[in-house]
Amino acid sequence: MKTNEIKCKTALSKSLLPGLDYSLNPYRGCQHTCAYCYVPNVLRIKRSTWGSFVDVKTNIPIILSKELKSKKPGVVAISTVTDPYQPIEKKYKLTRYCLEQLLLRDFPVCIQTKSDLIIRDIDLISKFSKAEVMFSIATLDDSKRKLLEPYSSTIKERFIALKKCSDRGIKTSIFFGPVYPTIKLEDLPIIIDAFIENGATEIMVDKLNLKPGIKENVEKILKSDISKNIANYDLIKKNIFMIAKGKNIKIVNAF
């Protein structure tokens, strides 16, 4: 993994995602190397190089501090094109330093991650007037997770982190996406129960994004044709909504 220390000119970008005003990405690139990641397509990075580098925006807390003085308060999404708690964050602490700046102005934050490193920052996150932590969990099968998200935290580690955030009074939710092509209808009640038992109050559901190269990449790793499974997504989504009705948990579509 190649690490490049760089300087950024801006910290906050306007977000086009529903309910989010700004996006903040302390890193460019991601160590988790998820097979289905759509970010290489968005940033126009060769998929073959994705997961081999991380650009570290070493000055982003300082830039953020300056920008917050003139920015209209709004929800800051951390992050949208990288994981803010990928392993390198343990060394650089850029996400934590940015949170410190955001807390000074008490900007609302929505943090999405696959990492249990977020536990380190519960002390800060719990001080915000409005904060949400969303854990990406797309399967309960850790053997499948190892194939498609090789360098991310285990599913068990994520659930422990989810529960700790919930127990501290932080709003917690699940990004159930992309729904793994290996998931069957009979798996859904167990998956949703696991989300609820560990403190999630909302589940956002998303399908596998079929930007160029993603389907081929996933099939290469799983060694199977996933076309039929992708076609079943609407049926899976319908069942998720039906199951959730009786379990007092909100389900929303990602887009």
- Tens-place pLDDT, residues 125-177: 999 999 999 999 999 999 999 999 999 999 999 999 999 999 999 999 999 99
**Cis-peptide into 79, omega within 30 deg:** yes
**Long-range contacts formed by 122-129: CB under 8 A, 24+ apart:** 122/164, 122/165, 122/168, 122/170, 124/96, 124/99, 124/100, 125/99, 125/165, 125/168, 125/170, 126/168, 126/169, 126/170, 127/103, 128/102, 128/103
Per the document, the length of the chain is: 255
Domains of the chain: 2-253 (3.80.30.30)
pLDDT of residue 40: 93
Looking only at the bridges linking them, the beta strands covering 250-253 and 202-205 are parallel
Give pTM, 2 decimals. Answer: 0.94
Q: How far from 174 is each of 162, 182, 196, 251, CA to CA, in Å?
A: 9, 19, 10, 10
